[in-house]
A and B are shown apart, each in its own frame.
Chain A
């Protein structure tokens, strides 16, 4: 099955700086890569995703990049704000209708 590794496990950034979270996956057949944000006491919320036929996607202050050859993808958050503090999960979807998740990154934005 798919194995997704996520780094770092914790990330502390100064407000206004950028944050980068990296994930690798093992199944070359995986073709869909979503990112989720989870705030305390809530369910994960889909914030952005990328499909295997695209190398980069942006949505305001967040962007995702995908390198299929190296089997890794990254989340970039620019101009971080206190409300960006949360746990972020990457995931990979293969052809068996299952999403496999990374272990999560706790992001803290310092004021």
Chain B
């Protein structure tokens, strides 16, 4: 999968707890993205990064923050998890900002 590793692959957490998901790439691509996938909504962009320490919001960024201190790592943090954040989260990378390659996903359940 284009040198992308997401961790953890599965997580169950309690409402109100912070959660951090990690995306690690070995391709040295400039752009990295976090999407969430929910039935009937396709893939919706949460946050993206266009370089180290350069990030911007997507269409569903409320309740999420990101950090990119190294080219290879893009972290997604749910500051205080809610049941509405139960979803499958995908990381994607792109060299040019167009062709994007996805990781295997993280299934997060908030109980």
Contact in complex: B45, A99 (CB < 8 Å): yes
Contact in complex: B42, A104 (CB < 8 Å): yes
Tally of A interface residues using CB under 8 Å: 22
B contact residues vs A (CB 8 Å cutoff): 1, 31, 33, 35, 40-45, 48, 50, 58-59, 90, 92, 97-105
Interface residues of chain A: helix, strand, loop or mixed (majority): strand
Nearest-CB residue, chain A, relative to B6? A43
Closest 10 CB pairs of A and B: A43-B102, A97-B97, A101-B42, A101-B43, A103-B42, A32-B98, A44-B102, A43-B104, A104-B42, A43-B105
Contacts of B40 in A (CB 8 A): 103
A73 at the interface (CB under 8 A from B): no
Once bound together, how far apart are the Cα atoms of A34 and B96, in whole Å?
14
Which residues 71-94 of A have a CB within 8 angstroms of B? 89, 91, 93
